[in-house]
Amino acid sequence: MERNLTELTDEELILEFQSNGTEKAFEILVQRFKNPLTNYVYRFLGDYDSCVDVVQEAFVKVYRYKDNYSSLAKFSTWIYTIAGNLARTEYQRKKRRNFFSISSFGEEEKTYDIPDNSYRPDVEADMNMKSEIIQKALLKVRDSYREAVILRDVQEMSYEEIAEIMQIEVGTVKSRINRGRAELKKYLKDIYYE
Amino acid sequence: MNNEEETNKKLLDDLKNLPKVNAPKNFETELWRKINSSEKEIKESIWDKIFSPGKIAPAAVAVVSAVIIFFVVDVNSEEMEDPLNIEPRLREDLIVYEMNDDISVQNEIKTEIKKKDDESIIKSTTRESNQNKISSEIKSEEIKDESRKELDKKITDDELSAAELKLDTNVSTETRSLGGTVSPAIITTNSSEINKSNLNFMQRNLTVEEKVEVQQLKMKVETQKSAKTDENRTNPTQK
């Protein structure tokens, strides 16, 4: 039985979980999507703790609202949409909190980069200086552009999938990706134009 | 242009080769804990929170107190709604009527109506006063005539009663004993004979000599009267 479930596609697993309430199918989906989703949300938020919370919240929503899934769509686009919406909400919440806690003290228009002090040995071990700079540059890019760039260049999704996840046209996805890359290059000029 | 393409390639390669961030090891256990807690919250929120004894008791007390207050306030409100104490409702329709019409014209009409009423009242009062005067004059004349007649009757009755004094057997002993000029009225035993004139207790009882003198004077007056009437009959043209 277990062997059969692991061989099933994402869509078949969620249908099995929908129709029969098989929790093993849900667990297999969690195993398949926990790391890509964590990577995606971490690149978007830049904070590991809140990233894990967001991914877990996304899986809780899948568990609770499994009946809302339509078999016409891909499961990956559905769960990425849920995680993306939650990540955007969390980012806005963090932004407001940082605005009221720091910007009110100093100059009016200047914003501060909040250093990520969370020490993660498994992440820090693989991170070199360059990747750290790229991550900081990514966080400076506008939200909508950043999401499109991460999904395309980090997660390596197709334009059609990104369009479905972000619920926009493919042309809009392409333009957002280009603008996001241009912004990113501007912030990383010290690395690429030396 | 080549530099631009190179930088783009470098950027894309760097983004692809970014270290993959994985979920923590206790991800699944934390996830199941959250799922179970969320399920419990849903179940508790529907029934357990509503029917928990900690909330039913104060809710019941609140409902009972509300019902009691409602009835108490309702009874008081009935007492308070005494129609004698309530101010009369403002008649807006009347106010609008007065506001719309010309008030000065209305006042003029009212004064004219008052004048007419006053005149009619005055006329009626004058008529009534004239009628009253006439009637009072007539009445006064009638009263005078009656008083005259009564005086004549009295005099004749007195004469008759004086003549009958000797013959009356029912005269009380008290009247006899008084004797003088003033004596109480004659008390008659028969109730049907009681008259208004008999009730006069201050009648004068004349002596025989006085009576004789009175009769003589009367005779003289009658003779003079008869002489005058004869003269008037014989010489009517002299007047």
Domain end residue (candidates: A81, A115, A149): A115
Q: What is the reported pTM?
A: 0.51
Amino acid present at A91? Y
Q: Residues 25 to 44 of A: which have CB under 8 A from any B CB?
A: 27, 30-31, 34-35, 37-39, 42-43
CATH code of the domain in which A180 resides: 1.10.10.10
Residue B179 pLDDT more than 50? no
ipTM > 0.85 (yes/no): no
Domain count, chain A: 2
- Sign of the Cα torsion B139, B144, B149, B154 reads positive
Q: How many Å lie between the alpha carbon of B66 and the closest alpha carbon of chain A?
A: 41
For residue A59, the model assigns a pLDDT of 94
Mean pLDDT (whole number) for B207-233: 88
Q: Which domain holds residue A24?
A: 1-115
Contacts of A106 (CB under 8 A, 6+ apart): A112
Residue among B16, B91, B39 at smallest CA distance from A64: B39
Out of B11, B18, B20, the one facing A184 most closely (by C-beta) is: B11
Looking at the fold, whether A93 and A147 belong to one and the same domain comes out as no
Mean pLDDT (whole number) for B33-53: 74
Domain end residue (candidates: A115, A135, A169): A115
In a domain, B117, yes or no: yes
Domain count, chain B: 2
CATH code of the domain in which A101 resides: 1.10.1740.10
Mean pLDDT (whole number) for B163-188: 49
In a domain, A120, yes or no: no
Q: Which domain holds residue B178?
A: 169-215
Mean pLDDT (whole number) for B198-215: 78
**Helices B2-16 and A170-187, axial angle in degrees (round to 10):** 100
Looking at the fold, whether A86 and A137 belong to one and the same domain comes out as no
Asked if the Cβ–Cβ distance from B14 to A134 is below 8 Å, we say yes
In a domain, B132, yes or no: yes
B204 DSSP β-pair partners: B182
Q: How many Å lie between the alpha carbon of B73 and the closest alpha carbon of chain A?
A: 50
Looking at the fold, whether A99 and A3 belong to one and the same domain comes out as yes
Q: A45-72 burial, b if ≥16 CB within 10 A, otherwise e?
A: bbbbebbbbbbbbbbbbbbeebeebeee
**Cβ distance B222 to B214 under 8 Å?**
no
In a domain, A71, yes or no: yes
Q: What DSSP character marks residue A108?
A: S
**Cβ distance A28 to A6 under 8 Å?**
yes
Looking at the fold, whether A104 and A141 belong to one and the same domain comes out as no
Residue of A nearest to B3 (CA): A193
In a domain, A155, yes or no: yes
Tens-binned pLDDT, residue by residue, of chain A (194 aa): 555 888 889 999 999 998 888 889 999 999 999 999 999 999 999 999 999 999 999 999 999 998 888 877 889 999 999 999 999 999 999 888 876 665 544 444 444 444 455 555 555 555 567 888 899 999 999 999 999 999 999 999 999 999 999 999 999 999 999 999 999 999 988 877 66
Q: B66-77 burial, b if ≥16 CB within 10 A, otherwise e?
A: eeeeeeeeeeee
Q: Is residue B70 within 8 angstroms of chain A, CB to CB?
A: no
Looking at the fold, whether A106 and A146 belong to one and the same domain comes out as no
Residue B16: list chain A partners with CB under 8 A: 153-154, 156
Asked if the Cβ–Cβ distance from A60 to B35 is below 8 Å, we say yes
Q: Is residue A67 within 8 angstroms of chain B, CB to CB?
A: no
For residue A109, the model assigns a pLDDT of 43
DSSP labels, A2-52: HHHHHHS-HHHHHHHHHHH--HHHHHHHHHHHHHHHHHHHHHHH--HHHHH
